[in-house]
Chains A and B, each alone.
Chain A
Amino acid sequence: MANFRVCPDSGFYFHKSAESLIKVNAVAGVVALLLAGVLALGVVLTRWQQVHLLPPQDFYMVLTAHGINALIFWIIFFEMAILHFASSTLLRSRLATPAWAWFGFALMVIGAVMNNVAVFQGRSSVMMTSYVPMQAEPHFYLGLILFAVGALVQVLVFFGTLVVAYQEKTYEGSVPLVTFGAITAAIIAVFTIASGAIILVPTFLWAIGYISHIDAETYRIIWWGLGHSSQQINVAAHVSVWYLIAGVLFGARPMSEKVSRTAFLLYILFLQLASAHHILVDPGVGTEWKIFNTSYAMYLAVLASMVHGLTVPGSIEVAQRQKGFTRGYFEWLRKAPWGNPVFSGMFIALVVFGFIGGITGVVMGTEQINLIIHNTIYVPAHFHATVAVGTTLTFMALTYLLIPVLFRRKIILPTLARWQPYLFGGGMTILILFMLGAGTLGVSRRHWDMDFTGAAMTFEYPGMAYTLMAIAAIGGLAAIVGGAAYLLITVGSLLFGQKLEPSAGFLQSFLGKALAPGVYNVDRPELLARAPRLTVEEHGSAGFEAPGTFALAILLLVSFVVYYFINWKYLASVWPMG
């Protein structure tokens, strides 16, 4: 029975059941993003002290829901779509056990809905971290547990699909780099979900009264085993997507398979570490362990990101130079398709992730420097650079690539789409930079009122702190408009985009059945052959192939060094302590 179709434009093969799962997971993610974006409006308009929109109960509820929907539901649903794509589609294989994947998906949906219900009922405004002994309603935790179990089931189906592809010999040689990156993400996900289970299951039992006490510090240490490594899933996933986009748009080949794959491997080897950077200023955590852990042994996972930061743009540069864009250092970059949101989204994500997210993350994860940053608004600024721009904008860029391929619809509103990454990325960058500044002035995160209305004692922030928060909020509003544009374009394209195939429709194969018979007309895809070898010269052996990228990398390193030592200097100015 023919179960595959081939996309005539991209050459990707879609297996029927994988295709519908990619679609539903992506759509569920986008729904969560919509919710997170609407809630972001409440968050920024309250943190903008002059506007101060919501009362405190609502603010904390909205902030809890914003964090969970954005960071957990949006990103993980979308990652499930990426996993099925990277296994079934890229390897041209059938999906291992579609029924199990649907079961996992259903659990995730139930979990996400249950958790949101708990939060919006108003008695579970505990933030995504849900630090004990503050307690949420039992179904808050149960929702998260079901969601995690569902994700685990889908991850296992992904592994199963890899085995099927291997056994049925759908490809030649080793798996492609993108799939390799997805495998690292999936392995990390298994670790993460294990930590999550270890901590959330007892917490749930505590919430329903079966366990009388959970130690607050133990909770923090294990919770961050989940909270931290789940961020490494995102990094591995979005870096894989960067390689994919570089390949699709430019025909880029990895500069070196060995280097890129080793870098992914470093994520696996060192990511269980670094959870300590969330507990650097906690009581009773040993110094040696903190230093070893917060630095991922010796910044080896940071090294891995720095390597990808070079090799992704480097591979684009090499490909562009081969096409003749060889003038100077940067002709290859100037002549890149900046009007194509797939490229601009991915490249802005890469730059903001590296220059802002990466640098601030390492700085605040430094054992002593954390003292002057912990729990200030600097922290959300940092992770909006990593997850809201790095991961989210990358996934947005991927959506623009997938809508024509997967849904066989043309993108509507092309002019808006062209500007969307700049609006979202630019607005976010303003939000991030000004929150970083406000954090340096001591403004607290998760805090309703910079004026401390009703407090017995007073404290006044400098006027500058208010100005910075106001500008940040304006940037945040621009980002929300950018996010709304994304949703408008994607949902609009699914519903109204010009059909690239007569049978294309919103529900095409959505639930496993094709609208028009005969869409799935390939019985067994051709063997996925090795990439062609370059005839001219063996790759990587000669010359300095990517001077422009190298110059950018040096710029990154210099900024990194300067900013790092500025923070030590700032630390040296606070009260001596030890």
Chain B
Amino acid sequence: MTAVAETGVGTRLLRQVGFWPVVTALVFVALFALLVMPIVNIVGLSLSGKDAQSSVWANYATFFSERFYYQTLINSIQVSLAATVLAVLVGVPAAYFATRYDIWGRGFVRAAVVLTFVSPPFIGSYSWVILFGRSGLITTTLADFGISLPSIYGAPGIVLVFTLQFFPFVFLMVSSGLKSIDQSIEDAARNLGSGELRVFFTVLLPLLVPSISAGALLVFVAAFTDIGTPIIIGERFRVLPVLIFGEFVNEFGGRPILASTLAVLLLTVTTAALLLQRWFAGLHAHGTAAIRPLTIQEQRPLKRLLASAYVLLLVGMALLPIVNIVISSFLKANGPLLIAEFTLGNYARILRTIAVPLSNTIFYTTAATAMCAIVGTAVGYIIVRRPGRLGGLLDGVVMFSYAVPGIVLGVGLIVTYNEPPVILTGTSAILILAFFIRRLPFSVRSSVSMLQQLSRDTEDASINLGAGPGRTFLKITVPLLSMAILSGVLLTWSNTIRELSATLILQSGSTVTLSIEIFNEVVNANFGLASALGTVLILLTFLPLVVLFTLLGKREEALV
């Protein structure tokens, strides 16, 4: 009876207020509860003192007066900036060669970049430890010949791993940027007497500034907020995200005020980076669209060889960790020591424990992906088709959520939902909601761009023929976007399934996921098991992408 009455009320509300106002209101409520409130709460906590007299800035004063704390911020900025600069330096030429030259192994390069891009975030680091760590394969082999390598631990190792793991951001952004430049622009510059290098620096590079800065921002934010890599190879080199994580694990929920303060600092830096990039890219935006994009050009053999060697070497190095994980998953392991002997033992052992994390991972990922698809499409629709003050606000909130790192969101959700009226800590729901909010901006952005390509007249025609807004959305918009929505779903899945940083903070024993499981095995130095689990995770990440790139014919630029 009540159910019937409620549908009655719901329908009447829809009738009176209209379909989109109701949806908009629901979206605002969700964003408020899952994004705004958590952020407001950590900001609030960070400004609260232990006692009434202390200044609201007391926590920040503590942070900036104790070297133990503020050094982590300096460290974080240093490694992230270094990784960003290096990623740009190696990524831009690689993208240029791969899109402009007839290099060998183009298909391999594309696949390798995608694989690198989607590999679980910390797999790179522990793979490098397997190879170059203190008791690593290559370190020990070379030691037998009396050669000692520089240490992989600490800042240089972190920068190396970040660079190789994140340069695909730059590579993909610049590739797609190059494809939006018309061949005639380059031809004109050539025709006016510029050589290749001059054309690159005077014409192409200026046009690529928005793409490069967007790629650089992604590298910086990813590096600045990463927890896995610094924990695994950072050793005594401490960065800000690890400090936050430490505050949570050493004494669960013990010092939420400190953790919140740190999280706000992290958020401030990422937001500032985002705004800086927006502003900078805006200054250099030219709004080019290519009718005939830049073409691949034949090169003389030597140039071709050198360019191919460079690109293949780079992606080869980036791919090395993944190959290494897959191979070592079939090797006997004795703790961190791998023995060159084939075995399926690692898989046999994980078989016993994998059920819970695997089903958790799949369930959370699927649920979050579905929510992203539905809410993301609706929000994109509101932004594109119903612009106005609310649409603009929604756009702003969603864009802001780009800058919210997983770990900050994790802290925010914990401090918001660990006490009545709503307690979610330790539940599956909090993980699903976190995954959902983290990927939502990406879903929104992709639905915005697909809606912008869809002529508005088609929907107006439906309205004009008497279908209401809700019916039009379901019967016209959604079917027309179904392929785009499907590819969005596959992308969301691949990106969500390997989430680590928010999960590390939000998970409890029963809600453990695959990436947590791998992380734990790595920290406990069970490299064989970690590799077997890692291989499973890589497969789960990669399969949807295979569908995306082969069946749906997407290009790898869709990833960024």
Partners in one complex: no
A positions within 8 Å CB-CB of B? none
B positions within 8 Å CB-CB of A? none
